[in-house]
Amino acid sequence: MTEDKGMDEKFSVLSRVQLSVDEKAEIWAELEASLDDGKPAPVKRRAYRNWMMGLGSAAAVIAMAWGAWAMYGSTLHTVNFGTPVVHRAPKLFQMAVFDTDPATYTGGNKLYTISAKEPDLSSTSSHLLATNATWAKFSPDGKWVAVAIYHPASTIGQTSLWLISSDGTQKVKVLDANFRFGDWIPGTERFVYGTTQGQKLYLVQPNEKSQPYGVAAANNSQITDIRFSPNGKRLALVMSVDPPTRNNSAAGKWHDQVQIRDLATGKQTTLANSKSPDGYVLGPWSADSQSVFYWLDPQHAGSIMADGTQLMQGNLNGHSTSVAVTLADGHVQAADVIARTVSPFGRGSAAVQVGGRREAYMTKAIKLYQNGKLRDIPGQPNHVELSPVVTDDGAMIAFTAAPALKTDVTSESAYNAWLRQSTLNIYRTASDQVSIVQQAGTGIQTPTFTGDGKHVAYIKGNAVWTIGTAANEKPVKLAEFPSGTLELEDVQK
């Protein structure tokens, strides 16, 4: 899609001022309400939503955003919005998907869960969990889903936090408003979260009250994100130091730190300390829990992040290594076709979608990152390769491939025509060969493996499908959704 990058540069100024989730949501609602009818809704939505969620607080920024909008108009092009999350538990494959009506701008995101028994993916069921959901993540045992819900009808739009059973029968409200981020502690039903105040973390379990969690920020700092290591022994976090505030919007000495906390000893290791006004965005931990991936966030500006930035890998000793320029999780414009850009496996290894530019149809390739080095895998000439996912044992990498384009796509119909050419590909590490899964057809989006690695689940049109990884398997439809704007955001092992 084309985008008015001059407008992006103006909007990036707003990234220098931290906003609460609620303030972001309010500006977002005002901006969307002002969109003209000259372009189809699916083309206009994503860049604004990603920009809003990427802003770092001040009520005055609302006026700034409104002025920028009035000056530059509604020229950004985006694609459909939605956010599925996948949980993989032994003998049960579960997905959570957002189904969004592409004819609307705001709200209406219906969060569904889908479950099927492994190994044959029988006994499929689906449940509606929430409406107006903006984020979701399964508990490690798959019984609960942490869900953020936006309430646009409130005086200032509020984002609440809920714990909802995966079958939708139990719903526990944790926060009425001000939810910002969170993560489940591996192997437990304990969820740790942060609010827009940013200085404390809280722990909650289903049907129990929240309590303080033993990590806090200094008076001049805010915690902006966290990730638990897969073994549950460490916590990675981004600490924002001297951030702009409601009363002082100047960037000043604002910078970020990436830290690792040993949860047993309390030892703190600083992986990176950015130069002002740059920041960091957390990525996934390595599969062996010995390192964490993260991205540089230049100027805390979502508009810059959208075109890719430097991916780093930091180990427990505090040493970081540059990996490649990639798109960053949470800052992908084309989230309908890119669910992730880094898929870890083994000892610090990962499949990485390498390449900048926000347009999905330009300059993207899947590469293997092992022993601190990148290497190519066989692929189709003149194609982009997107959204890699690796089996737990590292034996297979699934991704999509579509023709690489040299010019911008300027209409929704042209974008959809390009998307309909996307194929499912599987790379097998033992043979160093890539095969196209012809039986799956075309128009494939955001694949993910089932827990046993015997099937690939993917989005195609308005439905979720699976197909076996053995030769000559036939695709099976798991679920179909009425609005049909589906996306895959996260895979949890």
- 19 in a structural domain: yes
Cα distances (Å, whole numbers) of residue 483 to 151, 350, 413, 462, 486: 21, 34, 18, 7, 8
Mention every residue, 6+ apart, whose C-beta is less than 8 A from residue 340. Answer: 329, 353, 387, 388, 389, 490, 491
- 6 pLDDT exceeds 90? no
- 56 in a structural domain: yes
- 40 in a structural domain: yes
Cβ atoms 74, 37 nearer than 8 A: no
- 43 in a structural domain: yes
- 74 pLDDT exceeds 50? no
For the ranges 219-223, 296-300, 328-332, 393-397, the maximum mean pLDDT occurs at 393-397
- 38 pLDDT exceeds 90? no
- 59 in a structural domain: yes
Prediction pTM value: 0.81
**Residues 57-60: contacts with CB within 8 Å, 24+ apart?**
57/17, 57/18, 57/19, 57/20, 57/23, 57/196, 57/244, 57/245, 57/246, 58/17, 58/18, 58/19, 58/23, 58/244, 58/245, 58/246, 58/247, 58/249, 59/23, 59/246, 60/249
How many C-alpha atoms does 384 have within 13 Å on its Cβ side? Answer: 27
- 102 pLDDT exceeds 50? yes
Look at the chain and report how many structural domains it folds into: 1
- 60 pLDDT exceeds 70? no
Sequence-ordered alpha helix ranges (H) in 73-212: none
Q: Is the dihedral of CA 11, 15, 21, 26 positive or negative?
A: negative
Rounded to the nearest 10 degrees, the angle between the axes of helix 46-54 and helix 21-33 is 160
Determine what percent of the chain is predicted with pLDDT higher than 90. Answer: 54
Cβ atoms 343, 285 nearer than 8 A: no
What mean pLDDT is predicted for residues 428-438? 96
Mean pLDDT across the chain, nearest whole number?
80
Query: Which pLDDT value is given to residue 467?
Result: 96
- A 10 A CB-CB count for 91 gives 9
Query: Which pLDDT value is given to residue 29?
Result: 44
Give the pLDDT band of residue 331 (cuts 50, 70, 90): confident
Shortest CA distance to 451 belongs to which of 381, 383, 367, 389? 389
Query: Which pLDDT value is given to residue 302?
Result: 82
What mean pLDDT is predicted for residues 164-193? 95
- 246 in a structural domain: no
Query: Which pLDDT value is given to residue 68?
Result: 32
**In this structure, what token pair is assigned to residue 225?**
């994100």
Structural domain of 47: 5-72
Rounded to the nearest 10 degrees, the angle between the axes of helix 5-12 and helix 46-54 is 20
- 27 in a structural domain: yes
Query: Which pLDDT value is given to residue 391?
Result: 94
CA 53/CA 47 separation, integer angstroms: 10
CA 314/CA 293 separation, integer angstroms: 6
Query: Which pLDDT value is given to residue 483?
Result: 67
**In this structure, what token pair is assigned to residue 90?**
């032994």
Cis peptide before 102 (omega within 30 of 0): no
- 346 pLDDT exceeds 50? yes
Cα distances (Å, whole numbers) of residue 91 to 94, 140, 481: 10, 14, 24
Q: What is the pLDDT of residues 141-153, one digit of tens each?
A: 999 999 999 887 6
Give the pLDDT band of residue 488 (cuts 50, 70, 90): low
What mean pLDDT is predicted for residues 194-201? 89
- 61 pLDDT exceeds 50? no
Q: Which amino acid type is present at position 178?
A: N
- 137 pLDDT exceeds 90? yes
Mention every residue, 6+ apart, whose C-beta is less than 8 A from residue 450. Answer: 88, 93, 118, 121, 456, 457, 466
Q: b/e per residue, 259-271, with b = 16+ CB within 10 A?
A: bbbeeeeeeebeb
- 389 in a structural domain: no
Query: Which pLDDT value is given to residue 92?
Result: 80
Pairing verdict, β 490-492 and 85-89: parallel
Determine what percent of the chain is predicted with pLDDT higher than 70. Answer: 75
Sequence-ordered alpha helix ranges (H) in 391-489: 412-419
Q: What is the pLDDT of residues 233-272, one digit of tens each?
A: 999 999 988 876 645 555 567 889 999 999 999 999 999 9
Residue 432: burial class (beta carbons within 10 Å; 0-12, 13-18, 19+): exposed
